[in-house]
Structure 1
Amino acid sequence: MSVSSAERRVRPTWFDDAKLGVMVVWTPAAVPAFAPLFPSAADWERMTDEESTALLRDHLPFAEMYLNQLHIPTSATARHHAEHHPGRDYDSFAAEFRAGLHRWDPRPWAELFAAAGCRYVVLTVKHQDGFLLWPSAAPNPHKRAWQAERDIAGELAEAVRARGMRFGVLYSGGLDFTFTEPPASDDYENLPERIAQDPRYSAYADAHWRELIERYRPSVLWNDAGYPAGARAGELIAWYREQVPDGVVNDRFGPHPAGSEEELADFATLEYQRDYANEAPAGRGWESCRGLGSSFGYNRQETDGTLPSRTELIHEFVDCVAHGGNFLPAVGPTASGRIPWIQAERLLALGWWLRENGEAVYGTRPWLRAAGTTRDGLGVRYTRSADAVHAIVLGTPAAARVELDVTVDDAAAVTLAGDRSPLEWAPTGHGVAVRLPEVPDERPALVLRISPAEAVRPVAAERAR
């Protein structure tokens, strides 16, 4: 059975309503927990193509790619390993990681994710090192004990579902360094095609996906790094949709590592792409994933100062939602299973902001215009729910008054999120001025609710200047 664009059903609404998930990247690479930090955006922009290529080869910022980088002699990871872990190989990290899994408790993870306002959790059950986070009936044919004895996937699924969240799995289908020698390096784009020529790996990956679906019935199938053609992704996905009718599938089940498989997918996958106005795919559901820092997995080099601030993270989330996407930040637990404090703080900041302002996010859809500005130059992101337009002001107005670049019908009501007390408003040359109850305390974003939605229209850009 295969899937064609004509047969593909409408995407389940729960996914479009959810807006916020969390990815977990927990692998044996959490033992060395090293990757060089990525340069600033400004430094990156100044690099030549040759410099940026060399940087991605030798200074890849993803700690979960430790095994790959270890096999590049010129890499920062190889130098770090020679200095700090002489005589150790990656297999020893895996043995240490596996031996410590008994210390892990899924409940603190699930409680944190629920407090953050996440509606779904995607666990990386196999990354590119090939180590499995569940006791598979199809063990690795090349490495003994290359999987968890404990059912990490099953225990986390139970814990998150008990708190009202959905559970999904991420599986590296295109890269598995137990079947091909690392590094991927400059040949990254062609590596999945080489794997696809190995029928043993195709059967292995297909067996894993079917086992994961039967055991855990995941709401999200999140494949990574491409998928072997011999594994017949179309048949797998058709069968998955029979087993889990409201499940969703990402767009990385094709031959390209970064994703483009529209024929099979329910949603497109963006990664560290923040220019949503220009990069969000038109006419498709999509999700934006990123690490909370420059790495998905745990990296000891990252500090509070190298991660985006709580406000920056909330602004990126809001921008993503206003342009029609879901936001999937990744946590990288330590080898013992602790989520680092600097990561947990940021998730909790998201959750605290959502406690008051979630009505402007959950269940909303893009409005006629995603972005605007106040008269004072603060950015605004707009969303729409069934009965209101929500104006999310990025920052704190300096006075008890904010001017939005919209027009409002006379009978419209304007309130603060979470407070149905009507606010005074009046039309202005910029659009509409709203009087707030007081000068706002400093916060990441202030939300105004304007209802009914039909009473609100965007102001032409020329007029709003």
Structure 2
Amino acid sequence: MRGERETPAWYRDAKFGIMIHWGLYSVPAWAPLDDEVVRLLGAGRTGPDGSGSGESAPEGSAGAVERSDPLARHSYAEWYQNTYLLDGPTRAYHRRVHGDRAYADFRSEFVAAVRDWDPAPWADLCAAAGGRYVVPTSKHHDGYLLWPSAHPNPHLPQWQTGRDVVGELGAAVRDRGLRYGLYYSGGLDWTFGNLPIHRMADVAASVPDAPGYARYVDAHWRELIDRYRPSVLWNDIGYPPAGDPDRLVAEYYAAVPDGVVNDRFSRDGADVRTPEYGTRSEIDPAPWETVRALGLSFGWNRQETAEHLLSATEVVRLLADVVSKNGNLLLGITPDDRGVVPATQRAVLHEVGRWLAEHGEAIYGTRPCEVPAAVTSAGVPVRFTRRDDVRYLIVLGDPGPEFGVPGLSLPPGARLRAVGPAAAQPRVRPGPDGPVLTVGPLPPAPAHVFAVSPGP
């Protein structure tokens, strides 16, 4: 809740969303395989309050990374337009492969890809993965629009798609029963200047402060709201100083009463905080969402292989951890230069979806328990969620045929059942440090789930 407004229940119940970055940067699609930015964004930001801070700085925002000036080695391929101008490996790659070709020249290949693009496989994949909402980019920092806007770029002609990528994808996503949000880079637009950005500390000063840019951003957001009625406004890198985000958000709530607004609008109040590659160590009473790519980049990096991606097991365990602490997971996928999600990513998402199809009752629609976590007597991590009077134990590994959970308290006469295709229904008996669960041999799975219900 922010002020008097409560974060909509549909969002708190959804738990798992998919973010999609696709744009001109998907044509060169290259960045160093250096996880320094990822590590620093997530490091030390696990507290639930503002002092430690539990708030990973937004992508590229001031203060996110100060210790090593990493932009020349930025692992985010969607920043290619900025990174190839800096003295580093991306510039060397660009000169070797593309010579002195300007970034804007990649538009021709992207226009061809958009012509052949099909939104159905993206929507099918998001649904198969168990995602409940989808947030694609409508404009990233390079300013290129993925819808035919009535407010074209004043500096570059035809700096937008003729085909309505945003609208067609939205229709496909909603046809599959999923919610549809939109990402828009409100703070940065490199067609308005301020390139290159050398240090993370310079990002805030790179937000265009001209009133004309504020009007441009306001017009785009209003157009996106009017045309597509997004369930989520996912702004990035702040808002133009001359803009009026409070008025924009008020108008959005009037148009979409159960809409969700993130915390990157440079305003007080938000429905959800969005740490990047960051988690929490304890339950956060306020709704939050960890946003991260499946790999090291939100845009496709042609260098990434399966070894650079989270495995399905890692995604499931991250999701369980985040949900146990009152959060959502927004997981980024990266279509390639043809608009096809790579097979390695599709394989991970399908496996995650299979797990959620069998165990999702412990994830969707749940809320945190009194404590989020424990470990079994053998040291296997456990996460707790609840729905009404049912408590779920999500064991993040194979606990063995019999295991205890020290400190776990079960009500008298509690009933225990396995969720999903467990080999046998569990039994429980008292142990010296807490209840001992006998579960028998379990099939391989990223995590095993057991539900505890009150006795009759």
Q: TM-score, normalised by structure 1?
A: 0.88
Matches of residues 33-432 of structure 1 in structure 2 within 5 Å?
Answer: 33-39=29-35, 53-54=67-68, 56-72=70-86, 74-186=87-199, 188-193=200-205, 195-254=207-266, 261=267, 263-274=268-279, 276-277=280-281, 282-398=284-400, 400-405=401-406, 406-418=408-420, 423-432=426-435
Q: Which position in structure 1 is the counterpart of 2:17?
A: 21
Aligned counterparts of 2:269 and 2:160: Cα–Cα separation in 1: 29
Supply the AA of the counterpart residue of 1:432. Answer: P
8 Å Cα contact 2:117-2:338 kept in structure 1: yes
Q: Which position in structure 2 is the counterpart of 1:433?
A: 436
Label 1:52 to 1:266 Cα distance change in 2 as closer, same or farther (>3 A). closer
Which is further off, 80-89 or 418-427? Answer: 418-427
Counterpart of 1:66 in 2: which secondary structure? helix
8 Å Cα contact 2:21-2:299 kept in structure 1: yes
Aligned counterparts of 1:389 and 1:333: Cα–Cα separation in 2: 38
- Offset at 1:53? 4.0
Aligned counterparts of 1:5 and 1:168: Cα–Cα separation in 2: 20
8 Å Cα contact 2:376-2:399 kept in structure 1: no
Supply the AA of the counterpart residue of 1:395. Answer: G
Q: Which position in structure 2 is the counterpart of 1:459?
A: none
Aligned counterparts of 1:404 and 1:195: Cα–Cα separation in 2: 51
Aligned counterparts of 1:131 and 1:192: Cα–Cα separation in 2: 20
Aligned counterparts of 2:77 and 2:112: Cα–Cα separation in 1: 20
8 Å Cα contact 2:404-2:434 kept in structure 1: yes
- Offset at 1:310? 1.9
Aligned counterparts of 1:422 and 1:311: Cα–Cα separation in 2: 23
8 Å Cα contact 2:129-2:350 kept in structure 1: yes
Runs of 5+ unmatched residues, structure 2:
44-62
Supply the AA of the counterpart residue of 1:303. Answer: T
- Offset at 1:402? 2.4
Aligned counterparts of 2:71 and 2:425: Cα–Cα separation in 1: 56
Counterpart of 1:267 in 2: which secondary structure? coil
- Offset at 1:343? 1.2
Counterpart of 1:384 in 2: which secondary structure? strand
- Offset at 1:206? 0.2
Which is further off, 219-228 or 412-421? Answer: 412-421
Counterpart of 1:414 in 2: which secondary structure? strand
Supply the AA of the counterpart residue of 2:118. Answer: D
8 Å Cα contact 2:186-2:237 kept in structure 1: yes
Supply the AA of the counterpart residue of 2:16. Answer: L
Supply the AA of the counterpart residue of 2:257. Answer: P
Aligned counterparts of 2:75 and 2:449: Cα–Cα separation in 1: 35
RMSD: 2.3
Return the structure number with greater relative CO, CA threshold 8 A, min gap 6: 2
Supply the AA of the counterpart residue of 2:238. Answer: G
Q: Deviations over 1:113-163 (max 9, x none)?
A: 001000000011100000000000000000011101000000010001000
Supply the AA of the counterpart residue of 1:10. Answer: E
8 Å Cα contact 1:16-1:285 kept in structure 2: yes
Label 1:419 to 1:62 Cα distance change in 2 as closer, same or farther (>3 A). closer
Aligned counterparts of 2:28 and 2:9: Cα–Cα separation in 1: 41
Runs of 5+ unmatched residues, structure 1:
255-260, 456-465
8 Å Cα contact 1:394-1:445 kept in structure 2: yes
Q: Deviations over 1:62-98 (max 9, x none)?
A: 00000010111x2211111011111311011122212
Aligned counterparts of 2:239 and 2:66: Cα–Cα separation in 1: 27
Aligned counterparts of 1:368 and 1:54: Cα–Cα separation in 2: 40
Aligned sequence identity (%): 43
Aligned counterparts of 1:422 and 1:411: Cα–Cα separation in 2: 16
Aligned counterparts of 1:328 and 1:61: Cα–Cα separation in 2: 19
8 Å Cα contact 1:413-1:422 kept in structure 2: no
